[in-house]
Structure 1
Amino acid sequence: MDFSQLTDAVASRSYDKIADICDQLMLQIASQGVTFHDEWPYAVHLLGHIYLNDLNSARFLWKSIPLSIKESRPEVAAIWKIGQQLWTRNYAGVYDAIRGFNWSAEIQDFVASFAERYTRRMLELLMSAYSTISIQDTALFLGMNESEATNYVLQQGWTVDAASQMFTVKKHAVVTEQKIDPSKLQRLTEYVFHLEH
């Protein structure tokens, strides 16, 4: 099996491409009738889907992994534990699952990159859902202690009220104004006029 494309993607930290590369390789190898289960990089493949927040594909892949692989490769099960926490929306559990395993050197950077990406996603979620939120809840969502969470969100422009232990969330400016090219509007008008007559 030629995993050079996958190896290159991991080496170049092109983590967003890994799930697709693995899916294509798996289809290609399966179509040739080659047994591949023992050598397959299930940990990387599963994390590739989780990295893209494609939990359905991660679940289907998990179900297709032979039981012997699940039992003999604890890293695969540890990655699936992250997927389970995501599936149940246990935000703090995701961080616990990440920290709760001693990742191999081959996948350590990939897991760290996922953790950063997940923290950014959680921050975006908090910014869209809250105008004020407690320090404790923020720390829970971001998988940090209260001091780390405070430093992190203050760098994002949030403010803190020490007395109430609440953050005021700084919302991103929403750009709603769009400029329409008059020539395009004219062509659209002519096209609609032509259709009506």
Structure 2
Amino acid sequence: MVYLKMAKDNQNVDYKKLQADLEQQELESAGGVASAQVYNQLLALYLLHNDMCNAKFLWKRIPQTVKSASPETLQIWAVGQKLWLRDYPGIYEALKKEWSENTTQIMEALKAATRERAKTLVSKAYSSIDAEDFAVFMGMPLTEAIQAAIQEGWTYDSSTKYIKPKKPVSVKDPELLSEQQMSVLTDYVSFLEA
């Protein structure tokens, strides 16, 4: 039986390994039906890793008997639906539910990951954003959202109540010399002809 009980400290959990172990456990389950805990953790992990395709396929594979017997499965899927729609207020509202001991840490990590994704989105898409709108994206009270922005090195203008995010530093691909480009092109053509 794989990690059905989580470690007390989020830092010590390898979520990718846990996901792989749960996938294996689902495949090896008797009669093709795993326990609700396995489905719940696996669904939550797909959401954590922003793997919406696998989350949707898992949802379709979960037997109706498991869905109806486990209210937590429905709660996790409600979070997934909000993620799919990019309904940030809805995501944070759905994450406020009570979670079992087996999924609490994953859902907390999902909340943190959602906030990071929102922060990245704002930094890429906005040159300035109303502080209240930013708080909605972050699922935080206004003062905490402003503090989070300042901790990122962003500026907050209290007179206009706008936050100015710093643009993320983009890493450019190294430019290839013409000889290297010819070599790469030759490799592609050779591969296609083989």
Q: TM-score range by the shorter chain?
A: 0.7 to 0.9
> Residues 146-161 of structure 1 correspond to what in structure 2 (within 5 A)?
146-161=142-157
Shift of 1:122: 0.9
Which residue of the partner structure matches residue 192 of structure 2?
none
Which residue of the partner structure matches residue 160 of structure 2?
164
Choose the corresponding residue for 1:128, options 124, 127, 130.
Answer: 124
Letter in 1 for 2:145: A
Structure 1 residues 161-170 or 33-42, which shifts more?
Answer: 33-42
- Any unmatched runs of 5+ in structure 2? 190-194
Is 2:88 aligned against 1:91? yes
- On the 8 A contact 1:98/1:111 being kept in 2, the answer is yes
Give the secondary-structure state (helix, strand or coil) at the position aligned to 1:160: strand
- Any unmatched runs of 5+ in structure 1? none
Which residue of the partner structure matches residue 174 of structure 1?
170
Check 1:190–1:176 CA distance in 2 against 1; reply closer, same or farther (3 A cut): closer
> Residues 22-37 of structure 1 correspond to what in structure 2 (within 5 A)?
22-29=22-29, 34-37=31-34
Distance in 2 separating the partners of 1:189 and 1:66: 54
Shift of 1:34: 2.8
Q: CA RMSD in A?
A: 2.6
Distance in 1 separating the partners of 2:16 and 2:79: 17
Is 2:134 aligned against 1:138? yes
Cα distance per residue 1:111-156 (max 9 Å; x no partner): 1111111111110011011110000110011111111100001100
Distance in 2 separating the partners of 1:60 and 1:25: 16
Give the secondary-structure state (helix, strand or coil) at the position aligned to 1:167: strand
- Greater relative contact order (Cα 8 A, min sep 6): structure 1 or 2? 2
> Residues 7-46 of structure 1 correspond to what in structure 2 (within 5 A)?
7=4, 10-11=6-7, 12-29=12-29, 34-38=31-35, 41-46=38-43
Q: What TM-score results when the alignment is normalised by the length of structure 2?
A: 0.82
- On the 8 A contact 1:16/1:51 being kept in 2, the answer is no
Which residue of the partner structure matches residue 106 of structure 2?
110
Shift of 1:68: 2.3
Shift of 1:27: 2.2
- On the 8 A contact 1:122/1:141 being kept in 2, the answer is yes
- On the 8 A contact 1:160/1:166 being kept in 2, the answer is yes
Letter in 1 for 2:53: N
